[in-house]
């Protein structure tokens, strides 16, 4: 489910100097922030609409614990974000004072919403516990917010153009048409979208249906979080309502443990923000860009396993699916009304046979080990034999026959995947 950048301070890049050192270059937001801070003698910070730090000035002794944590962690606790939003700052038309919250360790602040073309792009903050800043200072904060708004708006337009290019490339890479894939590989190889695609892996993240609009936004935010943690030009992604497809590319193979760590981060961040779970599917790592379509099929199948089969949890890897990798690619809709196995409809559809279905599945999952099955079901062996005999009578299958066992086992697994009543 993962195929599976804007950095915390926004478009920061490093260049190598002669002599082996590096020089840090930033875009034009940081100088604007520093100039206002120096002019007012106040700590200044700029956040995005999600209250994630974009840029911050040096401190002037007015900082509180939240400001320090924001600078160090590039984020603030969820309760701070929730409280700030309850103050209605997103609807403010001009700079204003936001009162302190001693319980959260938050000093009073001036908040100047950052907008351009009617779009809320972030917030400019000045700590002002004692309301010492007057109209003139608020006017300066508003003018600075307008200037930053232009910068952020240009950045947003550029980023949307880049994302559109990425999504188009990824969509062609996973296309069933060979010519689409070839064209995408040629473009990516010639351009600078992916700098090194020696090995690729895909993750697919799926939310439950139907997806609320807020969950779609959360999913997009989670993908952006991942993008910020990855090396530049090493990831392509696209989000379509309830699903995100993420391609990771790099010079070395992605190990199973590394991919699972990424999947767990995505799963945790989505759950924290949306308060609901998502399913994540992980492909194997394969060499070369022409393997992306195969990785995508694997990740989609693994995501399906994570949604349908509790045994895999909410994160599933293709390599761990075993026979379910094949079963999950069967068109289950055709199995809903009539399974293609003789004598099984009565077993599955009669509520009185629930215990027999469970018994048969436990028995076959344990390769016919009577002692292990009886122990798992907490029944005597004679009870187990009696139940298994009833299964044979109802289905017309013999559990002493290998082909009949395979038939029943496949039917049990397919019926579970198709949503038949099995407890």
Identify the pLDDT of residue 169: 87
Q: What CA–CA distance (Å, rounded) separates 167 from 188?
A: 12
Q: Return the percentage of the chain with pLDDT > 70, whole number.
A: 87
Query: Which residue, 331, 332, 293, 325, is CA-closest to 306?
Result: 325
**Residue 271 tokens, joined:** 């759950």
- The 10s digit of each residue's pLDDT in 359-392 is 998 998 888 899 999 999 999 999 999 999 999 8
Residue 168 exposure: Cα atoms within 13 Å on the Cβ side = 10
Residue 24: CB atoms within 10 A of its CB come to 9
Identify the pLDDT of residue 332: 63
Average pLDDT in the chain: 82
pLDDT at 185 over 60: yes
Q: Are 391 and 399 in contact (CB under 8 A)?
A: yes
Identify the pLDDT of residue 5: 27
pLDDT at 211 over 90: no
pLDDT at 212 over 70: no
pLDDT at 13 over 90: no
Report CA torsion sign: 100, 104, 110, 112: negative
pLDDT at 421 over 70: no
Name the burial class of residue 213, with classes exposed (0-12), middle (13-18) and buried (19+) by CB atoms within 10 angstroms of its CB.
Answer: exposed
pLDDT at 200 over 70: yes
Identify the pLDDT of residue 10: 39
Name which residue leads in pLDDT, 326 or 369. Answer: 369
Residue 192 exposure: Cα atoms within 13 Å on the Cβ side = 2
Region 316-327: mean pLDDT is: 87
Region 185-209: mean pLDDT is: 82
**Residue 381 tokens, joined:** 């062996």
Taking CB atoms within 8 Å and a gap of at least 24, the contacts of 139-144 are 139/95, 140/36, 140/39, 140/40, 141/36, 141/95, 141/110, 141/112, 142/94, 142/95, 142/112, 144/32, 144/33, 144/35, 144/36, 144/112
Identify the pLDDT of residue 359: 92
Name which residue leads in pLDDT, 22 or 348. Answer: 348
Radius of gyration of the chain (CA): 28
**Residue 239 tokens, joined:** 């989000």
Region 214-235: mean pLDDT is: 83
Q: Are 279 and 2 in contact (CB under 8 A)?
A: no
Q: Return the percentage of the chain with pLDDT > 90, whole number.
A: 36
Q: Are 248 and 262 in contact (CB under 8 A)?
A: yes
Task: Tell me the pLDDT band of 341, cut-offs 50, 70 and 90.
Answer: low
Task: Tell me the pLDDT band of 19, cut-offs 50, 70 and 90.
Answer: very low
Query: Which residue, 82, 79, 85, 53, is CA-closest to 67?
Result: 53
Q: Are strands 278-282 and 315-317 parallel, antiparallel or unpaired?
A: parallel
- The 8-class DSSP code of residue 127 comes to E
**Per-residue DSSP letters for 5-21?**
---TTSS-EEEEPTTS-
Region 260-273: mean pLDDT is: 89
Q: What CA–CA distance (Å, rounded) separates 80 from 87?
A: 11
pLDDT at 339 over 70: no
Region 55-72: mean pLDDT is: 86
Q: Beta partners for 47?
A: 53, 123
**Residue 419 tokens, joined:** 């949503």
Region 71-76: mean pLDDT is: 78
Identify the pLDDT of residue 210: 53
Task: Tell me the pLDDT band of 27, cut-offs 50, 70 and 90.
Answer: low
Give Cβ neighbours of residue 236 (< 8 Å, ≥ 6 apart): 3, 166, 167, 169, 170, 173, 193, 194, 246, 247, 249
Identify the pLDDT of residue 17: 32
**Residue 20 tokens, joined:** 């082996």
- The 10s digit of each residue's pLDDT in 98-157 is 999 999 888 999 999 999 988 999 999 999 988 899 999 999 999 999 999 999 988 888
Region 5-21: mean pLDDT is: 34
Task: Tell me the pLDDT band of 26, cut-offs 50, 70 and 90.
Answer: very low
Task: Tell me the pLDDT band of 423, cut-offs 50, 70 and 90.
Answer: very low
Q: Are 415 and 335 in contact (CB under 8 A)?
A: yes
* C-alpha 180, offset from chain centre: 26
pLDDT at 3 over 60: no
């Amino acid at each position: 489910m993962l195929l599976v950048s804007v950095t915390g301070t926004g478009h920061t890049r490093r260049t190598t100097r002669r002599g082996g050192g590096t020089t840090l270059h930033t875009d034009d937001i940081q100088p604007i922030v520093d100039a206002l801070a120096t002019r007012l003698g106040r700590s200044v910070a700029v956040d995005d609409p999600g209250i994630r730090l974009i840029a911050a000035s040096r401190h002037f002794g007015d900082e509180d614990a939240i400001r320090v944590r924001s600078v160090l962690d590039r984020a603030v606790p969820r309760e701070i974000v929730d409280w700030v939003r309850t103050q209605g700052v997103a609807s403010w038309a001009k700079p204003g004072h936001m009162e302190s919250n001693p319980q959260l360790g938050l000093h009073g602040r001036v908040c100047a919403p950052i907008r351009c073309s009617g779009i809320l792009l972030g917030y400019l903050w000045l700590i002002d516990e004692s309301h010492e800043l007057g109209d003139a200072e608020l006017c300066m904060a508003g003018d600075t917010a307008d200037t930053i708004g232009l910068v952020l708006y240009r950045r947003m337009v550029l980023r949307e153009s880049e994302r559109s290019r990425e999504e188009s490339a990824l969509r062609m890479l996973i296309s069933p048409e060979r010519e689409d894939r070839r064209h995408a590989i040629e473009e990516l190889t010639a351009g600078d979208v992916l700098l090194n695609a020696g090995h690729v892996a895909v993750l697919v993240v799926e939310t439950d249906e139907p997806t609320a609009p807020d969950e779609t936004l959360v999913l997009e935010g989670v993908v952006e979080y991942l993008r910020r943690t990855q090396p530049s030009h090493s990831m392509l992604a696209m989000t379509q309502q309830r699903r995100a497809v993420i391609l990771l590319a790099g010079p070395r193979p992605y190990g199973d443990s590394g991919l699972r760590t990424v999947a767990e981060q995505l799963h945790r961040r989505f759950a924290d923000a949306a308060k609901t779970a998502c399913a994540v599917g992980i492909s194997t790592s394969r060499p070369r860009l022409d393997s992306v379509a195969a990785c995508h099929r694997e990740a989609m199948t693994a995501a399906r396993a994570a949604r349908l089969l509790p045994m895999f949890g909410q994160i599933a890897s293709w390599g761990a699916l075993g026979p379910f990798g094949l079963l999950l690619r069967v068109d289950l809709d055709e199995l809903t009304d009539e399974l293609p196995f003789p004598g099984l409809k009565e077993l599955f559809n009669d509520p009185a046979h629930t215990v027999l279905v469970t018994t048969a599945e436990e028995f076959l999952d344990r390769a016919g080990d009577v002692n292990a099955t009886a122990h798992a079901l907490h029944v005597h062996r004679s009870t187990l034999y009696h139940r298994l005999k009833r299964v044979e009578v109802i289905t017309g299958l013999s559990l002493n026959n290998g082909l009949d066992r395979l038939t029943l086992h496949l039917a049990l697994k397919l019926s579970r995947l198709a949503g038949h009543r099995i407890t």
